[in-house]
Amino acid sequence: MAIPIDKIVRSRRKTTSLEVTEDALLVVRAPFGPSEREIRAAAF
């Protein structure tokens, strides 16, 4: 079962983080380098 990523925030960082907000939304913070496909694969 895949959990939908509600928002991807890209910034100058070296690591990827997952954040669940108070509204139960999944926010992924990721560096500029990886593609969206790579981010989704790493998250799950």
CA atoms within 13 A on the CB side of 1: 1
Q: Does residue 29 form part of some domain?
A: yes
Residue 26: the pLDDT is 94
Q: Does residue 18 form part of some domain?
A: yes
Residue 2: the pLDDT is 74
Inter-residue contact 29 to 19 (CB < 8 Å) = yes
| Strand, coil or helix: 10 | strand
pLDDT, tens digit, 9 for 90 and up, residues 1-44: 678 999 999 999 999 999 999 999 999 999 999 999 999 888 77
Residue 1: the pLDDT is 64
Q: Does residue 1 form part of some domain?
A: no
Counting the structural domains of the chain, the total is 1
In this structure, what token pair is assigned to residue 43? 């998250």
Q: pTM of this prediction?
A: 0.83
Neighbours of 40 (CB within 10 A): 15
C-alpha 43/C-alpha 2 separation (Å) is: 10
Q: Does residue 21 form part of some domain?
A: yes
Range of the domain at 39: 7-43
